[in-house]
Structure 1
Amino acid sequence: MFPYDYVHNHCMIDLRRIQVLRAVHQHGTVTAAAAALHLTPSAVSHHLRELARELKVPLVEPRGRGIRLTGAAHVVIEHGDAMVARWEEAESALEAYRSGAAGLLRMCGFPSAVAALLGPAAARLRAAHPGLTVEVSECETPTGFDLLLSTDADIAVLAPSEEFPYPGDARFDQRTLLNDRLDLLVPAGHPLTAREEGVRLEDVAHEDWVLPAPGSCDHHQRVVVFCAVAGFTPKVAHQVKEWMAVSAMVGAGLGVSLIPRTAPTLSEHGVVRVPLAGEPPLARRILTCVRQGSRDHPLVHNGLKALQEVADEVAAR
């Protein structure tokens, strides 16, 4: 599923080279672009030289010890995104004609999405389409976009982050899969577990909290923002990132936390999930992301359909 050549005015353009140029623009250096695309720096430089030769315009110029893109390069990137998307659309149409019940589908996502969404969706696809091979890999959000661009993944399940491309990024088709509601996690026997009326976030304003360290992941900032809206700043007594570790710490009576419905906990930790009252519900948004133009590819379509079915079941809990 990688674009090859595009012919215009008797000039053969290798669209892979436009992807390489786009990667240099995104990552800032030839070395970083090479790592993201699984190429050597010399191969990236070769692609840039060949693309400049094909287009008869300079694409890079020296800047200190490195390089920077020329104005012509930015024009190529702007129009190249549309060319690559159209190629993906053409390929999707061809594959739709051939049918998509067999082949290789590669999906990736952050850890709790793998456990709650991608794993069950992969099992569902394997049962429905025995000829389909599904590969699932775990990754963080920024890596997911590199996997899509290098065609090492066809579907990424991601949560928005500071590195997340803006919604109008021409390379990606991003759509909401699930608004993953957040529950208050408290130790068994906590007074709020017996309250019959609705529990609100401000009810734990004076509690100790177990949260990831600032900057370690987006959940810390998400919780801080929700608490600020509720009128307080959480007193973070323990900085823990992994959900199982959060579950153990809360179960030991060391604090409370907010945890997504898709995140795992262990009953032996002695924790209770308490749903929060109020509108709108506190949630993190989970998206599916594919390369622009590839959403209707039969394999991708089947994968997205299975993911949506699993997500709908999670939302109904």
Structure 2
Amino acid sequence: MIDPRLQTLRVLHRCGTVTATAEALHLTPSTVSQQLRQLAARLDLRLLEPVGRRVRLTPAALALLEHADALHAHWESAAAELAAHRRGGAGRLRFTSISTALATLVAPAAAQLRQQWPQAAVEISEDPAEDRHGLLLSGAADIAVVLPSPDSPPPDDRQFRQHPLLTEPQDLLVPDDHRLARRSPEAKDAQGTAGVTLADAAEDSWIRAGDPNDQHQLLLAACAAAGFTPRVAQAAVDWTAVASLVAHGFGICLIPRLARVPAGLPVTRVPLSGPHAPIRRILTCVRRGAEQQPLIAHGLAALQGAAAEYATSTQPWPATAA
């Protein structure tokens, strides 16, 4: 219902290059370039200007983008109202999520959703190498479960609506024979803080654990706040592999409460205390206006229910719902 060339412009603004835009929209780069030229000719405006090997939107294009974002948000709301006139729960709902939330929150929420809406097709993907906000914008996903990062949209972004889902602490994962694994919770550091602080591990070797796009950024930010830069010696994404590296003495890491460690490995989770104890805020994100669509609204509600159930479940160090 809306000129698809406007959507191409929106995705280009997010992706930054014609090639990345073409990949996101499953088009060829020449098709993307042609659409943008046609749009510029239709409006009699210059929309792009070259900057090295990339392109930059002109002031006119940025002004157009504001209207395009408003149009698409309005269309999402219209689609939600029209969906209310249909019978049944037929449709497709696509989740994209960070791995730890996928296992603990998205999978049970999606299972509940399939029971409530048996005619709906529910798809779940981790997409570790993808820009999950870009997947939302291009229509490849409907609900993203993400961690905020320096590249994330702001809370008042015109294209996306975000909601807090869960706030969870980060723990240290260390070998069983590590000095911090044996430290008494009542022991105090040089500043008089009881328990183990992040600064207590400043001289250790670290593993770049989990998704480098968000989990590693959290480690760097937390260590900077604690007054040091971690010496990163190894890297692994899968938490089973990470735990094995820790168990074999290759370093320590930050591990979120949602992450599971295989039983039998000689590793210890050490809760962190003090003013710089890192936490992780998990968000849901949808296209602005899409949260009113029945299937997406039910998906968001199911996620909130799964997060609340997780937060109140019995576990060694329960996370708290945001």
How high is the TM-score relative to the length of structure 2? Answer: 0.82
Look up the equivalent residue of 1:110 and give its one-letter code.
I
Q: Percent identity?
A: 47
Look up the equivalent residue of 1:144 and give its one-letter code.
R
State yes or no: 1:259 paired with 2:247: no
Question: CA 1:201–1:280 in structure 2 vs 1: closer, same or farther (change >3 Å)?
Answer: closer
SS in 2 for 1:269: coil
SS in 1 for 2:268: strand
Q: CA deviation at 1:226?
A: 2.5
Look up the equivalent residue of 2:248 and give its one-letter code.
A
SS in 2 for 1:211: strand
Q: CA deviation at 1:216?
A: 4.0
Q: Counterpart of 1:292?
A: 288
C-alpha contact 1:142 1:164 (8 A) present in aligned 2: no
- The one of 195, 207, 229 equivalent to 2:184 is 195
Q: Counterpart of 2:126?
A: 138
Q: Give CA deviations for 1:47-87 in whole Å, capped at 9, x if unaligned.
A: 22333344343434667787654432222111111111111
Q: What are the ranges of 5 or more consecutive residues in structure 2 without an aligned counterpart?
A: 187-193, 313-317
Give the Cα–Cα distance (whole angstroms) in 1 for the partners of residues 177 and 50 of structure 2: 65
Q: Counterpart of 2:269?
A: 273
Question: CA 1:140–1:163 in structure 2 vs 1: closer, same or farther (change >3 Å)?
Answer: farther
State yes or no: 1:309 paired with 2:305: yes
Q: Counterpart of 1:51?
A: 39
1:67-146 to structure 2, matched below 5 A, reads 68-98=56-86, 101-140=89-128, 143-146=131-134
Q: CA deviation at 1:295?
A: 0.8
Q: CA deviation at 1:235?
A: 4.5
Q: CA deviation at 1:136?
A: 0.4
C-alpha contact 2:198 2:272 (8 A) present in aligned 1: no
Q: What are the ranges of 5 or more consecutive residues in structure 1 without an aligned counterpart?
A: 6-13
SS in 1 for 2:35: helix
Q: Counterpart of 1:9?
A: none
SS in 2 for 1:303: helix
Q: Counterpart of 1:24?
A: 12
Look up the equivalent residue of 1:272 and give its one-letter code.
T
Look up the equivalent residue of 2:135 and give its one-letter code.
L
Give the Cα–Cα distance (whole angstroms) in 2 for the partners of residues 47 and 288 of structure 1: 32
- Residues 292-301 or 127-136, more deviating: 127-136
Give the Cα–Cα distance (whole angstroms) in 1 for the partners of residues 267 and 53 of structure 2: 55
Q: CA deviation at 1:246?
A: 1.8
Q: CA deviation at 1:231?
A: 4.5
How high is the TM-score relative to the length of structure 1? Answer: 0.83
C-alpha contact 2:207 2:250 (8 A) present in aligned 1: no
SS in 2 for 1:98: coil
- The one of 142, 160, 175 equivalent to 1:154 is 142
Look up the equivalent residue of 2:218 and give its one-letter code.
R
Across the aligned residues of Structure 1 and Structure 2, the Cα RMSD in angstroms comes to 3.0
Q: Counterpart of 1:10?
A: none
Question: CA 1:53–1:203 in structure 2 vs 1: closer, same or farther (change >3 Å)?
Answer: closer
Number of residue pairs aligned between Structure 1 and Structure 2 = 305
Q: CA deviation at 1:187?
A: 2.6
Q: CA deviation at 1:142?
A: 5.0
Give the Cα–Cα distance (whole angstroms) in 2 for the partners of residues 240 and 32 of structure 1: 26
Question: CA 1:229–1:150 in structure 2 vs 1: closer, same or farther (change >3 Å)?
Answer: closer
Q: CA deviation at 1:141?
A: 7.4
Give the Cα–Cα distance (whole angstroms) in 1 for the partners of residues 50 and 224 of structure 2: 47
C-alpha contact 1:205 1:233 (8 A) present in aligned 2: no
